[in-house]
Structure 1
Amino acid sequence: MIETTAHDSRRVATTIALCFLVALMEGLDLQAAGIAAQGIAAAFDLSKLQMGWIFSAGILGLLPGAFVGGWMADRIGRKRVLMGSVALFGVFSLGTALASDLESLVVARVLTGVGLGAALPNLIALTSEVAGPRLRGSAVSMMYCGVPLGAALAACIGIAGFNGDWRLVFYVGGIVPLLIVPLLAFYLPESSQFHQRSANEAPRISVWHGLFREGSAIATLLLWVSYFFTLMVVYILINWLPSLLVGQGFSPSQAGWVMLALQLGAAIGTLMLGALLDRLPAWAMAALIYLGILGSLAALGLSSEFGSMVAAGFVAGMFATGGQGVLYALAPLFYRTEVRATGVGSAVAVGRLGAMSGPLVAGQMLALGTGTAGVLLASAPGIVIAALAMFCLSARRKVAQPV
């Protein structure tokens, strides 16, 4: 019994550690285009509209990647799809660095996004299934904190001035994932629940049946609503906050420090809220997270001093990105093993729609003259909707017993 427990502990630790490494590189790659934006624009003589295509291309690739990656994982295994996803975003991150014109840049960013999108549902499914119900929230949060830490690493590259050669961040984001793939091949265990399902030759369940039948429909729709509006706010902060801060009179360097504080807060918040998820009822988590988001948005919109802005950015990261991590930990609870990665992938894909729409809405509001405070405070209705959806999910969690 002791040997089995020790073996299980090593399995859990190995899975979380390897998935954390992938999440770290995912966070770096997600931020890479923003860090290298000035260098890319200068190298290819791109307008702001053309740079918008570069930013949008990566997000666009995340949508099909998340859904297809989850769907494939429920059929051929989480480990295989994760390895392919990591190899894909590694290769096309290098492709971004080697691109010769706008068209090749856009293609490289789309395919990088496909790989990034396909990786996340499998990271969540693997970590969730290896940890089991008792430690699921903490395990997923430990893994997912790699994403904001990777983004913080990218921010450090920008602050330190290493982006003088804009290709550097893409070389790092390409070479390191390709080095991680052999580690996944040799050391990452496949989900034991997936193996058990395969051994029992469980019948295939269609995507529609898995997401919208056997009591899953309400949970699926509520997850989609929560993901959509939470990621909308997260990506408004990621994409527009530096420009909003400069517009308020802060220097680009100060804006960089606020973004670093936001990502460090995100990492700490992901761990803290994930640990609380295993101890507090979901309704209490919803109240804590979304009240924290509303308060931090108000602070970001109204702060005028650099110190208070850094503090507001840290708190915003804790609750906005940290809250996103809690949603990622909640999603696997509502789906059976044979559709779990598909369910998580579909929610992530819908969340990416929010990620795409948020920056567009913010840009339109700024064009209408609402200003920084107007953009941030206008996010409040979406946060209220996400909070209500999460409250309803907490009630569903009491009766949902996936296997």
Structure 2
Amino acid sequence: MEVIDATDGGAQFSARLNRIPVMTRSHKRWLAVLAALLLVDMADLNTFAFAAPAIRADWGLSVSDVGTITAASFLGMFAGSIVGGRLADRFGRKRIIIGATVFFSTFSLLSAFAVGVADLAVYRVLTGVGLQAMTVVVLTYVSEMFPKLHRGRAQTWIVAFSLLGVPAMAWLARWIVPIGPSAWRWIFVLGTSGLLLIAVTARWLPESVRWLQENGHTERAEEIVARIESEAREITRAELPQILPQPVVAAGRPGDLFRGGYSKRTIVLCLTMALALSGFYGYNSWVPTLLTEHGFTTTQSLTYSSVMSLATVPGALLALLFIDRVERRTAVLVLYSMVGMLMLVFGFTDSDTVMVASGLLITLLLQASVPCVYTYLPEIFPTSLRGFGAGVGNGVGRLAVFATTFLVAAILAQLGFTAVFLYLASVVVLAGLIMGKFGERTLGRSLEEITMTADEGKHQQRIPNTQPSTSGT
């Protein structure tokens, strides 16, 4: 890709954003909107996991049937992640966030009226399309609109708040399911709450400045950046730091992700996401059913799952202690290694107390890794391909979960409960090793600087950058 100098005019918008030293009123408003959207997204994502035991009892489903429906939603997520990311690069981040919210809310509602495995699987596929289209674009938006030294913390707060949807859905399921044989349908109705956020999103969330700059909408970009700068001056009561020129990579084509300097990033990201999400959802989506198959009653299974889900939000908040101090790749390696060991404890113990305790810690550490991975996803690609690049990595991960869902069902049926956790521990640790060894350095660096470290960028003319390094090791 050709590298151009960002020294004046519209090309300076990225540099002006990079120098903002604080989170302004606008940033906090956007954070609230994005967190609310992801809360609904996260709750809907977990509806079937908590409804599955009741649906099995109501419809007389086998473990294989549960696996089919669970896998179907991840197949939809694969498509939604890639298509949503690409559409966001073409038509803007805001439009796709709103459109995807309407899409997944509609099909979540239809899931409540399903009459069998086939139509429920179709509805969950289409729900998954909308869920991941929105998720990928929200992550991209955060990376582009929040100050570089606060990207990780902004992502953490959004993830932490959104994760309230997990225990909320778990406890609602615990309350709703016992009401009657078909009461589980109301769990899916809750997924339509995303529609209530459309008006607020349309009013409060501006388009991404970097996307506006990339597509020639300089007047709109200037208005947004000027407002942020004014708010930052009010907070600091001082002039903002000097604007430092930033390299800007010219618009590329989708194929650029698979050749030249970006190919390594794409491959490493896809491998990491495939393994990590296989372990993450292999655990979270299957725990209620796995516990039931291990001999617990449906009520006990939902109770234990609900208790373990209490660690989700504290787990995400745990990332605040290190996310903008430790390299993303290092944090992911350490967290996944610890999760792998705890999964072995969970799978081998005969003590209910140890099982619940290790389950709590697994949930805590898995959720602490989520902000790290979510922050990293869009950081390593240029603006013109950021949504698509993040979508490809995330989409491949969801496709791997689709395949893993059947694998977990087969392992459970043929080898048993303990073998499932041997598998889950292995894939999570391997994901951490790949990220830790081959991932990119992103801590404290502008998106433009990260982009310029791609291998092909080494052969291009660089823009001198006199800013002191704040990168981690």
TM (normalized to structure 2)? 0.77
Are 2:67 and 2:406, in contact at CA under 8 Å, matched by a contact in 1? no
Aligned partners of 2:54 and 2:298: how far apart in 1? 15
Q: Residue 169 of structure 2 aligns with which residue?
A: 154
Residues 240-255 of structure 1 mapped to structure 2, 5 A cutoff: 240-255=286-301
Are 1:69 and 1:119, in contact at CA under 8 Å, matched by a contact in 2? yes
Q: Residue 461 of structure 2 aligns with which residue?
A: none
Q: Residue 134 of structure 1 aligns with which residue?
A: 149
SS at match of 2:206: coil
Q: Residue 34 of structure 1 aligns with which residue?
A: 49
C-alpha deviation, 1:316, in angstroms: 0.7
Q: Residue 206 of structure 2 aligns with which residue?
A: 189
Are 1:152 and 1:264, in contact at CA under 8 Å, matched by a contact in 2? yes
C-alpha deviation, 1:6, in angstroms: 11
Q: Residue 140 of structure 2 aligns with which residue?
A: 125
Does residue 363 in structure 1 map to residue 409 in structure 2?
yes
Aligned partners of 2:45 and 2:297: how far apart in 1? 23
C-alpha deviation, 1:43, in angstroms: 5.7
C-alpha distance after superposition, 1:147-178 (max 9, x if no partner):
4321221111122235632221122111x111
Aligned partners of 1:40 and 1:384: how far apart in 2? 33
Are 2:39 and 2:165, in contact at CA under 8 Å, matched by a contact in 1? yes
Aligned partners of 1:77 and 1:220: how far apart in 2? 22
Aligned partners of 1:122 and 1:391: how far apart in 2? 25
Does residue 66 in structure 1 map to residue 81 in structure 2?
yes
Aligned partners of 1:382 and 1:162: how far apart in 2? 33
C-alpha deviation, 1:391, in angstroms: 1.3
Structure 2 residues without counterparts, runs of 5 or longer: 1-15, 219-248, 453-473
Q: Residue 280 of structure 2 aligns with which residue?
A: 234
Counterparts in 2 of 1:161 and 1:322: CA distance versus 1, 3 Å: same
SS at match of 1:230: helix
Q: Residue 278 of structure 1 aligns with which residue?
A: 324
Structure 1 residues without counterparts, runs of 5 or longer: none
Aligned partners of 1:279 and 1:146: how far apart in 2? 21
Of residues 99-108 and 263-272 in structure 1, the stretch that sits farther from structure 2 once superposed is: 99-108
Are 1:78 and 1:191, in contact at CA under 8 Å, matched by a contact in 2? yes
> How much identity, in percent, do the aligned residues show?
28
Does residue 402 in structure 1 map to residue 420 in structure 2?
no
Aligned partners of 2:58 and 2:429: how far apart in 1? 43
Q: Residue 205 of structure 1 aligns with which residue?
A: 252
CA RMSD of aligned residues (A): 2.8
Are 1:257 and 1:310, in contact at CA under 8 Å, matched by a contact in 2? no
Aligned partners of 1:217 and 1:366: how far apart in 2? 36
Q: Which one of the candidate residues 76, 96, 112 is aligned to 1:81?
A: 96
SS at match of 1:278: coil
Q: Which one of the candidate residues 217, 222, 244 is aligned to 2:263?
A: 217
TM (normalized to structure 1)? 0.89
Q: Which one of the candidate residues 428, 434, 444 is aligned to 1:389?
A: 434
Q: Residue 348 of structure 1 aligns with which residue?
A: 394
Aligned partners of 1:376 and 1:47: how far apart in 2? 21
C-alpha distance after superposition, 1:280-316 (max 9, x if no partner):
1345313421222112202211333333222211111
Are 1:35 and 1:163, in contact at CA under 8 Å, matched by a contact in 2? no
Are 1:258 and 1:313, in contact at CA under 8 Å, matched by a contact in 2? no
SS at match of 1:62: helix
Q: Residue 113 of structure 2 aligns with which residue?
A: 98
Counterparts in 2 of 1:42 and 1:278: CA distance versus 1, 3 Å: same
Aligned partners of 1:6 and 1:134: how far apart in 2? 8
Does residue 173 in structure 1 map to residue 168 in structure 2?
no
C-alpha distance after superposition, 1:34-75 (max 9, x if no partner):
333355456666555444433232221111100000000011
Amino acid at match of 2:213: Q
Does residue 378 in structure 1 map to residue 423 in structure 2?
yes
Are 2:328 and 2:372, in contact at CA under 8 Å, matched by a contact in 1? no
- Highest Rg: 1 or 2? 2
- Higher relative helix content: 1
Aligned partners of 2:116 and 2:290: how far apart in 1? 29
C-alpha deviation, 1:123, in angstroms: 1.1
Counterparts in 2 of 1:361 and 1:278: CA distance versus 1, 3 Å: same
C-alpha deviation, 1:390, in angstroms: 1.0
Of residues 181-190 and 303-312 in structure 1, the stretch that sits farther from structure 2 once superposed is: 303-312
